[in-house]
A and B are shown apart, each in its own frame.
Chain A
Amino acid sequence: MSIINVRNLSLRYPGQQHQVLLDVSCNFPQHEITLLLGPSGSGKSSLALCLNGIIPHMVEAECWGQVNLNDTNLLVTRGLDTALQVGVVLQDPEQQFCTLTVGDEVAFGLENMCVQRREMAERIDHALGLVGMAGWEKVMLAQLSGGQKQKIAIAAVLALDPGILVLDEPTANLDPVAAHEIFNLIKHLQRQEQKTIILIEHRLEAVISQAAHLVVLSEQGRLVAEGEPEPTAMMLARHQLWDQLYLPRATRMVTQLRGIDHLASLPLSSKEAAAVLTTKPTNREAQSEGSDEFKQISENVPGNGNKVNEPGIRPLRDLTAEPLIKVQDLYGSYRPHQEVLHGLNFFIKRGEFLAVVGANGSGKSTLARALLNLLPNGYQGSIRLEGRELKRFKHKELFHHLGMVFQNPEHQFVTDMVENELAFNMNKSIPMPSRAALLEEYLNRFGLSREKKRNPYQLSQGQKRRLSVASMLITTPQLIILDEPTYGQDYRNNNELLQLITQINRDGTAVLVITHDMELVSEHCQRVMVLNNGYLQFDGPPSKLFRQPQLLAECGLQPPPIMALTEAIQHLNPNFPDCTRIDEFCSNWQKIYARADFKGVAADV
């Protein structure tokens, strides 16, 4: 039974030409988890805010259509009880807090509803208990970790006991373990507390198997599909609407290895996927597999684009030569005597692709700043770039060799036109005609040619990110550091960006990514460094890291999804070898299943 139904909803913000939502009709079933999906800019968040009447009653917008909650059209009337029925939790908890301590924050909604003090204490206690943080009332919000903040943001809404909870990307920028906890909490709220959950999420890995309903929007703000997860995902897959969605890796593997046209149903969990992948294909399936399916597998390994990066295969240049950067006994801090980094030793080779991972607050960003000599008190120990101590470089000179892309691309913009933004750091000694040509080349390569006269602030999220990367790369640095490059990006933007970065890396620039995205680590990086409380816990190939479950757990990390699929297959076939990478998985699967089955079927015919 649906509790909210949306009828022909269109929406436009004042002063804007285009409509954010176009004639959207959909339902949100009661007591279930509904996933609200779509690429960046598809109007998901706007739709979410319509669901409790914040749009149009508080945020101004022109709306047409109906949003019905219990026979009330929220677009017309927004009663007091609406706030009590539909709770909204936005992306960044830090930006939603309006008080200073946990207790005050959770009490805030109750105070607004004029709940008496005695009852308030009970309800705060209950809400904190639901998110597993009972007894934290007196702790300052500023002291909490990212995951804890998000739990408090949820508790602050739960205190009002809403029947419906709308969560807008609640795990963005959380480390994998914290994200996992939030998902478990959401599951618990639906199962045990009978809440209706409406969840906006880019990454479906952990949630799609829990959901009962999908609502998918297109880039233009139209409804693409709606319904139960499996048939809806199947429909999207059949119509090549893939890149709207960050479907689980296991699902993608099945469609790629078996071919979408031959699947009766689409597996959404690793377990189901393993079952499909280990059974013999039917005759019809096998025949078509012979034609072009293999080609597709080997050429179009998912996530890898066109096999641009194969850490195991591609030889590293100058293995014996002097490393690009050599770090010895590195200590770094923001305040005297409060070291964040504790005696790190490592090196970065020329043209290498490496990742720095670790829980929130483990010192990743501090390390990046140290590598650019940007810590307020400098660093202790030694960082040598091509044998020369970093401190001896003038800043301007240093940033010809090293580049960094920050989390918020806007911080990096220094001019008011895309083209100037790119030209800003260009080497002035290059003669004018070749400079113009280089500029054109970068605009093309990063898909920004059409936007070259626009203001950087007017670009879309993905374009802003590409521009910030392009403007750093145009000086051809030897090392580029990327802080959470995939954060807040949809599947397509993400893939495009990763392809660009891989391309850059192939051209010889060493790449260091700071990330929570374990698939990015396993698929693209030759090396990974794990930080834990400022200590270097691991430095080696990803495949080795992901085979150490205890270390992963200690450092707040999780293995990439392909390993869950491997494990599920090993459960059915203990002979299936360990895989940490997608191409590895594909070739193993082909060796064991595809070829044998194929021959067998062929002989039958």
Chain B
Amino acid sequence: MSDYQTQQPDAANRPLLARINPAFKLLMLVTPTLLITFDYEPILPLVILLGASIIIMLTSGLTWKAFLAPAKWFILLAFGFTLFSLITRGTMDRPVEVICLLGPLRWGWSDILIALALGMRILTLGILSLGFVLTTDPMEFVISLIRQFRLSYHLGYAILAAYRFLPTFGQEMEQIRLAHQVRGIDQNRSPIAMLGSLKRYLIPMLATAVRRGERVAIAMEGRGFGAYPERTYWRDVKVTNTDWIALLVTSCCCLIIAWLLYQYGYLRLSLGFNLN
């Protein structure tokens, strides 16, 4: 999204990753996501993270800066979870071969691996979705869901209209915050105070949302939305051979890597949450 703000480039001029059919791009994420979700060793996420980052940097046309600016939030999040996991595991009183000590905290090798695995998992899933979001036009995504995944177009356009609203919600909250501030209401940012002021925000925002929803519905209906069971599309979102190849290659790569790691004992799949 961020890279397509001013002008929509012609499909042919776009970098490879931005040219792939959005629905297929979503499918490309399925295999790595499943593997990462159910594996609890840190190696597979790390390999996929590196692989995905290289592919994204080579085929998305994004600059490092444009990619890292949003990615830093996932890095922070992953770091936070790793740290949290380390602390909780460090306080547990279990028979482990202690390899690290910090005050009252004691860690074994397995503790560190598990904490790392958690962080890597979050980071990798974050980077994968970022790669999708940064190279996908929301409009084309919805159209491809409608055309390739048989999503009802009513629902597809409802999603799109809601997506259009999102930034305006932020703007409106800001306006309300300012208006209240001018009336001398303290901007106490503690969670309890926020909860208390929720009602003050909700009522005007709901009022606007209802009005907006009605208006956009009128405007859409006024232009014949829903007149026929099918509709045509100005933008052609097709499935090409490239899409199939990309899907097969990425999915196979992930499976092969997973199989290799499994052979060497670096992959443990589990459907439960028993991490000990």
Tell me the A residues contacting B by CB distance below 8 Å: 49, 52, 54, 58-59, 80, 83-84, 87-88, 90, 92, 94-101, 103-104, 107-117, 120-121, 124, 138-140, 142-143, 153, 156-157, 160, 369, 372, 374, 395-396, 399-400, 402-404, 406, 408, 410-414, 424-425, 457, 471-472
Contacts and interface: CB of A to CB of B under 8 A. Distances in A.
Nearest to A159: B223
A115 B232 contact: yes
Given A113-B227, A114-B232, A90 B215 contact: yes
A81 B19 CA distance: 37
B231 A111 contact: yes
B6 interface: yes
A113 B233 CA distance: 10
Given A96-B216, A99-B160, A396 B222 contact: no
Contacts, number: 175
Contacts of A58: 217-218, 221
B189 interface: no
Contact of A114 (B138, B180, B215, B230): B230
A457 B200 CA distance: 12
B183 A414 contact: yes
A408 B223 contact: no
Of the candidates A92, A99, A115, A117, the one having the most CB atoms from chain B within 10 angstroms of its own CB is: A99
Q: Which 10 A-B pairs have the closest CB atoms?
A: A96-B219, A107-B234, A109-B223, A112-B224, A411-B179, A83-B224, A138-B8, A412-B179, A88-B222, A95-B215
Contacts of B7: 138-140
B95 interface: no
Contact of A52 (B138, B183, B207, B222): B222
Interface in B230-273: 230-236
Contact of B218 (A59, A372, A400): A59
B63 interface: no
A140 B233 CA distance: 18
A80 B232 CA distance: 16
B212 interface: yes
A66 to B, nearest CB: 21
B214 to A, nearest CB: 7
B180 A414 contact: yes
B176 interface: yes
Interface in B21-58: none
Given A99-B139, A124-B234, A90 B181 contact: no
A114 B160 contact: no
Contacts of B223: 83, 87, 108-109, 112, 156-157, 160
B233 to A, nearest CB: 6
Nearest to B197: A414
A111 B234 contact: yes
B226 A112 contact: yes
A479 to B, nearest CB: 12
A406 B222 CA distance: 31
Contact of B183 (A120, A153, A408, A471): A471
Q: Which among B180, B184, B216, B222 has the highest number of chain A CB atoms within 10 Å?
A: B222
Given A100-B139, A142-B5, A457-B203, A88 B164 contact: no
Nearest to A57: B221
B5 A98 contact: no
Nearest to B200: A414
27 contacts: A83-B221, A90-B218, A95-B219, A96-B216, A97-B164, A97-B216, A98-B157, A99-B164, A100-B137, A100-B138, A100-B139, A103-B8, A112-B226, A112-B231, A114-B228, A115-B232, A116-B232, A124-B234, A138-B10, A372-B182, A374-B181, A399-B182, A406-B178, A408-B208, A412-B183, A413-B203, A457-B203
Interface string B171-187: 01001101111111111
A88 B176 contact: no
A530 B178 CA distance: 24
A108 B142 CA distance: 14
A247 B222 CA distance: 31
Interface string B67-100: 0000000000000000000000000000000000
Contact of A80 (B176, B182, B203, B227): B227
B257 to A, nearest CB: 37
Interface core residue of A49, A84, A90, A413 (most chain B CB under 10 Å): A413
A54 B223 CA distance: 11
B49 to A, nearest CB: 30
Contacts of B208: 408, 410
B221 A54 contact: yes
B193 interface: no
Interface in B144-190: 157, 160-161, 164, 168, 172, 175-176, 178-187
Given A96-B215, A471-B183, A113 B224 contact: yes
B183 A140 contact: no
Contacts of A100: 137-139, 160, 164
A424 B183 contact: yes
A214 B228 CA distance: 37
Contact of B224 (A80, A138, A369): A80
A172 to B, nearest CB: 13
A103 B218 contact: no
Nearest to A99: B139
Given A101-B8, A400-B184, A425-B184, 15 more contacts: A58-B218, A59-B214, A88-B219, A96-B219, A98-B160, A98-B220, A100-B164, A108-B220, A114-B228, A124-B234, A140-B7, A143-B5, A374-B181, A412-B182, A425-B183
Contacts of A425: 183-184
B4 interface: yes
Contact of B219 (A98, A120, A413): A98
Contacts of A109: 223-224
B152 to A, nearest CB: 14
B267 to A, nearest CB: 41
B139 A98 contact: no
